[in-house]
Structure 1
Amino acid sequence: MEPPENALIKPPLGRLFHYRFLISYRKEKKMKKKFWAVLNLVLLTIPLFITFAQSADVPGMTKDELKAMLGTPDCVILDFRHFSDYTSSDLKIKGAIREVGMGWGTGSWAGHYSKDKTLVLYCSSLNEKICIGVVGELIEVHGFTKVYVLKGG
């Protein structure tokens, strides 16, 4: 038996429910994507703020100041560049000692240097990020007082 021509045909309840569920599912999925995008953006910008905050507290040394100190027995220059940057570059400061950065901790090599010496650190990371972390550890944990980051690496 067919319905009359002027009768309203309603979809079965299952289809209507499925359609509404599909719309809410898509909205929820978009909201989750937006949430994760915003969260990632926030998490990626936090290290930048930390680096800038730390860089204000860490003493820096210019290239001209370092040139004036080169050759003095009081100055120790430490190269903290990544291994690939170190090996691929022909630019090395004469007398600089290659050390491993923060990932391995400073405890293994910090005891080799006198706390009376002036330590100048340089690296190839953006805004001297690796050196800033190492300097903070040398000052706070190991008690060094004359530690500087070479500005512009």
Structure 2
Amino acid sequence: MKRLNLKSFLLAFLIVIFGASFVGGAEGITFISSDQLKEEITKPGLVVIDVRKDHDWDSSQYKIQGAQRQSAAEVKEWMGNYSKDKNIVLYCA
């Protein structure tokens, strides 16, 4: 897998913002910049979830190594599978 470039990180950042608003302003949501994500990505306790549609993921040249894939449309089904003690980043870039 190719390393994620700055353009993809910026797009991921925008998606994180959108994802946070999707949750409806839930408490405990922190917005991070692409630079912050770059710093945090190697730390334990961070879960990166790729919520792109299958065809977008399949055709993408860029993927964050170690990211888990989940459907954004099924967030209510899978959100309970992740510990509340983890820092979770959603992206679809």
* Fold agreement, TM-score > 0.5: yes
The 5 A counterparts of 1:1-150 are 54=21, 57=25, 59-102=30-73, 104=74, 106-123=75-92
Alignment RMSD, CA only?
2.1
Give the greater-gyration-radius structure (CA): 1
Unaligned runs of 5+ in 1: 1-50, 124-152
Distance (Å, rounded) in 2 between the aligned partners of 1:84 and 1:101 = 14
Report 1 or 2 for greater relative contact order, CA contacts < 8 Å, sequence distance ≥ 6. Answer: 2
Q: How many residues align?
A: 69
TM-score (norm 1): 0.40
Query: SS of 2:77's equivalent?
Result: coil
How much has 1:60 moved relative to structure 2?
Answer: 2.2
SS of 1:72's equivalent?
A: coil
- The share of aligned pairs that are identical, in percent, is 38
Which structure features the higher share of helix residues?
1
Report the TM-score, using the length of structure 2 for normalisation: 0.63
State how far apart, in whole Å, the 1-side matches of 2:37 and 2:79 are.
Answer: 21
| 1:23-47 Cα deviation digits (max 9, x unpaired) | xxxxxxxxxxxxxxxxxxxxxxxxx
Paired with 1:85 and 1:60, the residues of 2 have a C-alpha distance of 24
Runs (4+) of structure 1 exceeding 4 A deviation are none
Shift of 1:83: 1.0
